[in-house]
Amino acid sequence: MKKNKFTFFVFFTIVLFSSTMLIKEVRATSTTIQKPTNGQQFNGLLNGDYITFKFIIIGSYESYKTYIDGQLDYSLHHVGVNIQYDAKNFIDRYGRGLHSFTVSVSVGGGPSPFSMNTRSVVMDSVSFTVDPPMCHFVGFGFDFYDEYSWPLRWRSNIEPFRDMLLSDRAKYIPGYFATHYDWKDDNVSSILDTLDTKEEQQDIVVVLFSAHGHAVGAPPDWDAWTHSHTTTWFHEWEWTPYFMGVAAIELKGWLSDLETDNLIYIMDSCHSEGFLYRGKELTNKKHLMVACEWDETSVHQVMGYDPSDSLVDRIDKMHSLFLRRMCIKFYNHYSDTDTAFDFAYNWIITNYPGWDQHPMDFNNLQTALYLCHQP
């Protein structure tokens, strides 16, 4: 009898000790977020970069969950390893600004001698900021004219430029992108108003107009000849009045509220110098480019553009030689905007002097701006 009592005492002591140790282990369980660190700033991210999340769990656990800004995030499903979150996808989902990253863990001690379970939830959380420069693009053209002349004329200029900024060679994370092919003042202003809600001072904003333009006067009556529109050659060779289109002073007014100090503004239309003149009045840091002087035309070539072709082929088949040569420099040679413009200008006046087309630009950017980089 005494032996049995002693055996029971030893057994009970061992179980109690084990249970105590197990409970102690449960209470010691914790999570440690190693990346990102509290207060970390992700302000230099470029297209193709990743935000790395890494955390470890100490002790036993039954399950864990990760949250970003209070939302359960199933993308972060590994423990103790680096988890790379594509910066573009992160911004698309959570936006820019201050964020919180939290890990919660459910742990269990298992059955005690009295069939009792112990559970606890331990958490670790950090705050960090994601606010890198982003690239926004808006492009305007017109397709009605194409039905009677060159197929996809305006799309051949606008869509390759857009897709270049969405490609793996784009330097900056893409943000707000919009294209429009039905030229009306209210549509243009509405898109630019939306752009204004998306862009910030550090962002890169590319505004591209590729359509008709015509002169109804000469300088110094700057606004009389600075209209670009889409229905010039509309019906039986009739000229649509200039007031049906967009005037340089209107465009300058729509762009004046933008915060960006990295504005790339390109007007590919005939008689487009006036858009350069009005663009200089904007207070933003900017690089303005127009296809020709006030009394010149912007020459296009039919190039068999096919939307299903590769991006490289579509760039080579842009109808505007001015835009085509610039995009070749951006996409294939990773040039800055100055180099790309100079390349297009020199190529046109050297190879096609009979065109009498002289692109013009104005640049007061603080640093050289590269739209593409080597993937």
* Domains of the chain with bracketed CATH: 30-130 (2.60.40), 134-363 (3.40.50.1460)
Is residue 16 pLDDT above 70, yes or no?
no
- Residue 301 vs residue 205, higher pLDDT: 205
Answer yes or no: are the C-beta atoms of 227 and 240 closer than 8 Å: no
For the record, the structure tokens of 332 come out as 């294939």
**Residue 51, beta-bridge partner list:** 85
Confidence at residue 141, expressed as pLDDT on a 0 to 100 scale: 83
- Residue 343 vs residue 113, higher pLDDT: 343
- Residue 213 vs residue 265, higher pLDDT: 265
Share of the chain above pLDDT 90, in %: 51
Q: How far is CA 308 from CA 40, 153, 168, 180, 311, in A?
A: 43, 15, 18, 19, 9
Q: What is the pTM of this model?
A: 0.84
H or E stretch covering 121: strand 119-130
Contacts of 250 (CB under 8 A, 6+ apart): 185
Segment 164-171 mean pLDDT: 96
Is residue 120 pLDDT above 70, yes or no?
no
Q: Would you call 21 helix, strand, or coil by DSSP?
A: helix
Confidence at residue 13, expressed as pLDDT on a 0 to 100 scale: 46
Tally the residues of the chain. 375
- Residue 15 vs residue 77, higher pLDDT: 77
For the record, the structure tokens of 87 come out as 């910066």
Query: How far is the C-alpha of 321 from the C-alpha of 371, rounded, in Å?
Result: 19
Query: How far is the C-alpha of 142 from the C-alpha of 149, rounded, in Å?
Result: 12
Confidence at residue 243, expressed as pLDDT on a 0 to 100 scale: 47
The one-character DSSP state at 265 is E
Segment 71-100 mean pLDDT: 86
Confidence at residue 234, expressed as pLDDT on a 0 to 100 scale: 38
Contacts of 80 (CB under 8 A, 6+ apart): 54, 55, 56, 57
Confidence at residue 332, expressed as pLDDT on a 0 to 100 scale: 96
Confidence at residue 118, expressed as pLDDT on a 0 to 100 scale: 52
For the record, the structure tokens of 353 come out as 């002097």
- For residue 364, how many other CB atoms are within 10 A of its CB? 12
Confidence at residue 59, expressed as pLDDT on a 0 to 100 scale: 76
Segment 118-136 mean pLDDT: 89
Segment 174-179 mean pLDDT: 96
Confidence at residue 259, expressed as pLDDT on a 0 to 100 scale: 96
**Least confident range of 51-55, 63-67, 232-236:** 232-236
- Residue 375 vs residue 165, higher pLDDT: 165
What does 314-341 look like in DSSP terms, one character per residue?
HHHT-SBHHHHHHHHHHHHH--BHHHHH
Confidence band for 133, pLDDT divided at 50, 70 and 90 = very high
Answer yes or no: are the C-beta atoms of 350 and 357 closer than 8 Å: no
Handedness of CA 201, 205, 211, 217 (dihedral sign): positive
- Residue 145 vs residue 149, higher pLDDT: 149
Is residue 299 pLDDT above 90, yes or no?
no
- Residue 311 vs residue 241, higher pLDDT: 311
Query: How far is the C-alpha of 258 from the C-alpha of 282, rounded, in Å?
Result: 9
Answer yes or no: are the C-beta atoms of 42 and 132 closer than 8 Å: yes
Residue with tokens 């001072």: 201
Share of the chain above pLDDT 70, in %: 77
Burial of 45 (0-12, 13-18, 19+ CB in 10 A): buried
Confidence at residue 286, expressed as pLDDT on a 0 to 100 scale: 98
Answer yes or no: are the C-beta atoms of 115 and 81 closer than 8 Å: no
Tell me the average pLDDT of the chain.
82
Q: How far is CA 242 from CA 80, 100, 212, 247, in A?
A: 65, 53, 10, 8
Answer yes or no: are the C-beta atoms of 282 and 256 closer than 8 Å: yes
Contacts of 108 (CB under 8 A, 6+ apart): 26, 60, 62, 117, 118, 119
